Amino acid sequence: MRPAPLRSRGFTLIEIMVVVVIMAVLVSIAVLSIGVTGRDAQLDEESRRLEGLISLLHDRALLEGRDFGLRIEPGAYQFLIYDTRHDRWVNFTEESEFRRRTLPVGVTLRLELDGQEVVLKPVNGDLLGDVPPPPQVTIAASGEGTPFRLRLERETTHATASVAGDAFGKTTIVSSDHLEKAS
């Protein structure tokens, strides 16, 4: 009597596919939780909001014949309007979307005008009363504006997103997943 032939030991195709699926699920969970893609959704959302508000004010400046401005601090920004009767900039409080906005903790703003970085200082509203400092970025009633580049940066990860505007009021966004060249 001959012994029965031994069945070769190995994995079936089904077993291998189950292991591959499990590994794929684990890798995708790790990528989503760690944020390996480099994208920072909070920076992207804030840059889109800022770009939208600036574009809206550009359109309003043309339609209403008024000058608007953007005052930028390291962790906040605020829109201003030029009061021709009193010959000064005042806070734009007519509509809530143009209120002063404070950035989330750990996110800062960096401003460049004519390729030069501007030193941003926080504004102490208690000392100023109703007269804010003048804006760094202006949008004139003619539609022209201050060319600028505003970077939003997360301090912990150094992720950045940016909003840029040209002299004709056109704004562009670079999202946080786009790698910028070091300058």
pLDDT digits (tens, 9 = 90+) for 68-118: 999 999 999 999 999 999 999 998 888 888 888 998 888 899 999 988 999
H or E segment to which residue 172 belongs = strand 171-174
Is residue 88 within 8 A of residue 135, CB to CB? The reply is: no
CB 90 within 8 Å of CB 131: yes
Backbone dihedral angles phi then psi of residue 84, each to the nearest 5 degrees? -70, -30
Q: What is the mean pLDDT of the chain?
A: 83
Asked if residue 36 is part of any domain, the answer here is no
Residues 169 and 58 sit within 8 Å (Cβ to Cβ) = yes
Question: Distance between CA atoms of 57 and 6, rounded to whole angstroms?
Answer: 80
Q: Answer whether residue 14 is part of any domain.
A: no
Residue pLDDT, tens place only, 115-136: 899 998 887 755 455 677 899 9
Which of these, 63, 51, 80, 88, lies nearest to 138 by C-alpha position?
Answer: 80
Given a cut of 70, whether residue 5 has pLDDT beyond it is no
Residue 52 lies in a domain: yes
CATH code of residue 115: 3.55.40.10
Range of the domain at 150: 41-174
Say what the pTM is: 0.72
Q: 137-139 and 116-118 as β-strands: parallel, antiparallel, unpaired?
A: unpaired
58 in a structural domain? yes
Whether 34 maps to a domain, the answer reads no
Give the percent of the chain with pLDDT over 70.
82
Q: For the residues 33-58, what does the mean pLDDT come to?
A: 80
- Structural contact between residues 143 and 159, judged by C-beta atoms closer than 8 angstroms: no
Q: Is 70 helix (H, G, I), strand (E, B) or coil?
A: strand
Give the tokens for residue 174: 């670079």
Lowest model confidence (mean pLDDT) among 26-30, 55-59, 81-85, 122-126: 122-126
Is there a contact between 68 and 60 (Cβ–Cβ < 8 Å)? yes
Q: How many structural domains does the chain have? A: 1
